[in-house]
């Protein structure tokens, strides 16, 4: 009996008997307080629950005490380590304060006993619901522990109800599954790792140095937001580490490493509407420069003579080269992990003699040059005597870098590279970094863009100029890095003409970017960290504000370990298939030489056949520019992504929610890339009641039968002919069909429906 009494005590929500059940209106939202739970709905759809606490007497707020971890970091890979010692188990609501159409505030106490602890922990709290200034379709919530009470409590938990069959999507770029049901989802910016579950390389790397192999949850660009298959959406605004627990059907629990939690519940009646509403928080992306949409941006390395010869060969092969991306413009250093960049952001004229003539010559032909910049600096004097500026030394002398507790610069590592990172809370350091971008990349190097890399490394035990908590600022760092870059170009008057692309991101990063890139994939076919991974990242990122993204064509990470099964080199087939995928939906058509320039790692310029294949699809990419331009307008105006899940248009089809190896390119194209090695057919699913589709290569029309079930069909897909269909009657589809026929790209295709 005593045990049962204890259980009842440990799991209860008690409302004061002083007030009865009542509905409170806040703008168009009704908040029902019935003495057992809270329920929120919108007057425009009273039968649709927007948000609800669990309908039994369970606390919807808990506080906890946990050991404060240092979030161990190895090469930018953060490990989610926490040790929760205690959580409260009892919640009382002692008062309800209501200001008509403005706010509803619940106050009370959180308490409970821990095993072996005589004194019950307790803390006062407030839970406020109020209108959002961003949209009438948003209702803001703010839960907070009272200062001066329960100071040892450093975790806050918010629990609420979900449909048992409801699926959850978003959380930024998730590279594991489109639906994250059944998982406890961490929200922390980190290096992605190499492998992320692909074996044996993940275990091999994690056993060597924990974290470098990555985990299912590791991502450069998480976001504390989601939408569901039941049209429920939540955006959290905290920048501290969070977990969202979806392991129990019908139950959601959000945990934040802080004493307060702020967020917003959203009323939306479709996925498109939900994405548009959520991107009011993230900000809508910027317009990519016109030139970037006209052809390929080819990633090359090797110095003036080598890259000039390759560009000439590509152009002779018919490749429309919109840009040449030279990430080694700063020169290379040679170490145990291969050729790495010198982190000193100026042209290395020893490595690239005649840089100015090369850049101006390509510009006369309509080809731009792009470079590489990140917020890290290493001492160039260790690797070259050609540097005209030692930015590392400047940063140390002026206190521009993140520091340790003893005031010394915080030294970090990216494999063999030892570096310090700019303190973005220091206004003088921000101005210094902006000047480096403007003077040395834009002006001297005449760069039309760059990879603005990294942003994931800020340690939790660092000391920042502003005095802010680094554990809270960590997730914001890539957002501030994007803001700095954008502001530098605004000050230079080149924001509309220069393209930079980033992999790391936080909640509001989209408003400072025109294109994201999905980071470092393995040169493999798998879904954990290879080719299939690209679609997963684009789908989840696309509904989380990353409306325009792309990947390294062919992947990036090349491994040549002696351990069996841990060598991965890019093949011509993989490169061709990656090229085909990127043609239909990528916001930038860009290649990468990879992490190794080994002759065994295949590149687009390595054979006449590969150049011909790449030229064909680069030209198709250019021909799709008018359609992409229309989608870019939707991205900027409504936050809608270029690459869309089938469920965005066909939410009524349950099967559409589970498809993550095909996608909609806008509303007019359905794309199912071939992503299996050696495959020549692809199973393509056409959602129920989706109408008629035209096969791009054959011109055959397919009509999906009317009924509840969709249509699945094996489609022939030899190299050069990825399964692409357009909506019958689409102006853009008919235009592309006419183009591929006119260019002779369809002559080798004989399949018929």
> Do 198 and 218 meet the contact criterion of CB atoms below 8 Å apart?
no
Q: Residue 475 has which token pair?
A: 């997730």
Phi-psi region of 376 (alpha: psi -120 to 50; beta: other; left: phi over 0): beta
Q: Count the residues in the chain.
A: 753
What's the rounded Cα separation, in Å, for the pair 665 and 586? 9
E runs forming strands in 332-452: 332-335, 338-341, 368-373, 376-377, 412-414, 417-421, 449-452
DSSP 50-119: EEE--SSS--SEEEEEEE-----EETTEE----EEEEE--EEEEEEEEEETTTEEEEEEEEEE--TT-SS
Q: Is 453 a catalytic residue?
A: yes
Active site residue 572: no
How crowded is residue 350: how many other Cβ atoms within 10 Å of its Cβ?
A: 12
Q: Is 520 a catalytic residue?
A: yes
Kind of pairing, strands 222-228 and 321-326? Answer: unpaired
Torsion, Cα of 506, 510, 513, 518 (10° steps): 60
Check residue 242 and report its DSSP letter: E
Cβ 415 vs Cβ 340: under 8 Å: yes
452, 398 contact by CB (below 8 A) = no
Residue tagged active-site, from 520, 580, 653, 668: 520
Whether the CB-CB separation of 670 and 682 falls below 8 Å is answered with: no
**What distance in Å separates the CA atoms of residue 448 and residue 325, rounded to the nearest whole number?**
10
Q: List the structure tokens of 425.
A: 């809370």
CB 159 within 8 A of CB 169: no
Please name the residues in contact with 397: beta carbons below 8 A apart, sequence gap of 6 or more.
none
Ordered DSSP codes for 142-169: EEEEPTTSSTT--EEEEEEE--TT--EE
Residue reference for tokens 């502003």:
466
- For residues 88 and 75, the answer to whether their CB atoms sit within 8 Å is no
Helix 304-316 to helix 355-364 angle (10° resolution) is 10
Kindly tell me the burial class for residue 117, based on how many C-beta atoms sit within 10 Å of its own C-beta (0-12, 13-18, 19 or more): exposed
**Cβ–Cβ under 8 Å, residues 442 and 434:** no
Selected catalytic residue, list 191, 301, 328, 453: 453
Catalytic annotation, pick one of 456, 526, 580, 616:
456
What ranges make up the beta strands (E) of 320-410? Answer: 321-326, 332-335, 338-341, 368-373, 376-377
Torsional sign, CA 599, 602, 604, 607: positive
Give CA–CA dist 576/568, Å, rounded. 16
Local structure of residue 12 (DSSP, 8 states)? E
| Ranges of H-type helices in 183-224 | 201-208
Q: Between helices 731-742 and 608-623, what is the axis angle to 10°? A: 150
The answer to whether 210 touches 202, Cβ cutoff 8 Å, is: no
Q: Which residues are catalytic?
A: 453, 456, 520
């Amino acid at each position: 009996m005593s045990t049962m009494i204890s259980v009842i005590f440990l799991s209860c929500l008690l409302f004061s008997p002083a007030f009865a059940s009542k509905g409170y209106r806040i703008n168009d939202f009704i908040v029902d307080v019935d003495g057992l739970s809270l329920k929120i709905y919108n007057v425009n759809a009273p039968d649709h629950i927007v948000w609800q606490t669990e309908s039994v007497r369970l606390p919807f707020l808990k506080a906890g005490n946990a050991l404060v971890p240092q979030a161990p970091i190895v090469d930018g890979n953060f490990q989610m380590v926490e040790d929760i010692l205690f959580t409260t188990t009892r919640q009382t609501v002692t008062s309800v304060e209501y200001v008509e159409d403005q706010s509803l505030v619940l106050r009370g106490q959180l308490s409970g006993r821990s095993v072996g602890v005589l004194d019950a922990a307790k803390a006062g709290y407030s839970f406020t619901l109020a209108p959002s200034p961003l949209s009438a379709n948003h209702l803001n919530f703010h839960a907070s522990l009272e200062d001066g009470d329960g100071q040892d409590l450093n975790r806050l938990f918010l629990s609420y109800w979900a449909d048992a069959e409801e699926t959850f999507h978003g959380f930024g770029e998730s590279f594991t599954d489109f639906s994250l049901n059944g998982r406890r989802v961490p929200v922390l910016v980190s290096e992605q790792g190499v492998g992320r579950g692909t074996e044996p390389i993940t275990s091999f790397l994690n056993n060597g140095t924990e974290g470098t192999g990555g985990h299912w949850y590791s991502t450069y660009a998480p976001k504390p937001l989601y939408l569901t298959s039941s049209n429920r959406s939540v955006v959290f605004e905290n920048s501290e580490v969070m977990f969202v627990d979806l392991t129990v059907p019908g139950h959601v629990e959000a945990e934040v490493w802080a004493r307060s939690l702020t967020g917003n519940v959203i009323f939306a009646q479709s996925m498109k509407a939900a994405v548009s509403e959520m991107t009011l928080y993230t900000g809508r992306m910027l317009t990519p420069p016109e030139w970037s949409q006209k052809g390929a941006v080819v990633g090359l390395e090797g110095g003036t003579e080598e890259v000039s010869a390759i560009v000439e060969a590509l152009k002779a092969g018919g490749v429309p080269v919109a840009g040449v991306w030279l990430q080694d413009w700063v020169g290379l250093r040679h170490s145990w992990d291969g050729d790495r960049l010198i982190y000193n952001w100026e042209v290395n004229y020893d490595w690239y003699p005649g840089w100015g003539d090369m850049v101006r010559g390509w510009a006369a032909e309509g080809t731009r040059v792009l470079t590489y910049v990140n917020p890290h600096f290493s001492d160039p004097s260790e690797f070259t005597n050609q540097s005209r500026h030692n930015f590392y030394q400047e940063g140390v002398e002026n206190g521009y870098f993140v520091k340790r507790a003893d005031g010394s610069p915080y030294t970090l590592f990216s494999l063999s590279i030892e570096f310090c990172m700019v303190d973005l809370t220091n206004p003088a350091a921000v101005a210094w970094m902006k000047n480096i971008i403007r003077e040395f990349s834009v002006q001297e190097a005449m760069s039309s863009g760059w990879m603005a890399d990294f942003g994931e490394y800020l340690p939790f035990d660092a000391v920042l100029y502003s005095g802010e908590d680094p554990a809270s600022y960590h997730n914001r760092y890539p957002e501030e890095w994007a803001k700095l870059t954008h502001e530098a170009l605004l000050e230079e008057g080149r924001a509309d003409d220069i393209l930079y692309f980033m992999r790391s991101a936080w909640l509001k990063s989209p408003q400072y970017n025109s294109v994201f890139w999905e980071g470092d994939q393995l040169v493999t076919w798998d879904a954990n960290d290879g080719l299939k991974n690209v679609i997963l990242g684009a789908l989840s990122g696309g509904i989380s504000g990353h409306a325009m993204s792309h990947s390294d064509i062919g992947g990036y990470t090349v491994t040549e370990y002696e351990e069996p099964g841990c060598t991965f080199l890019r093949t011509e087939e993989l490169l061709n298939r990656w090229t085909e995928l990127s043609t239909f939906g990528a916001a930038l058509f860009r290649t990468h030489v990879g992490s190794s320039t080994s002759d065994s790692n295949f590149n687009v310029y390595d054979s006449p056949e590969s150049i011909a294949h790449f030229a064909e699809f680069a030209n198709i990419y250019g021909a799709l520019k008018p359609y992409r331009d229309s989608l870019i307008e939707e991205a900027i105006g409504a936050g809608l992504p270029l690459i869309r899940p089938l469920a965005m248009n066909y939410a009524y089809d349950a099967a559409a929610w589970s498809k993550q190896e095909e996608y909609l390119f806008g509303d007019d194209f359905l794309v199912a890339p071939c992503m299996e090695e050696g495959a020549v057919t692809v199973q393509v699913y056409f959602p129920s009641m989706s109408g008629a589709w035209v096969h791009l290569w054959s011109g055959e029309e397919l009509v999906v039968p009317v009924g509840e079930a969709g249509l699945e069909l094996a489609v022939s897909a030899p190299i050069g002919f990825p399964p692409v269909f357009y909506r019958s009657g689409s102006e853009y589809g008919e235009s592309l069909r006419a183009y591929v026929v006119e260019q002779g790209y369809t002559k080798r295709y004989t399949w018929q429906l």
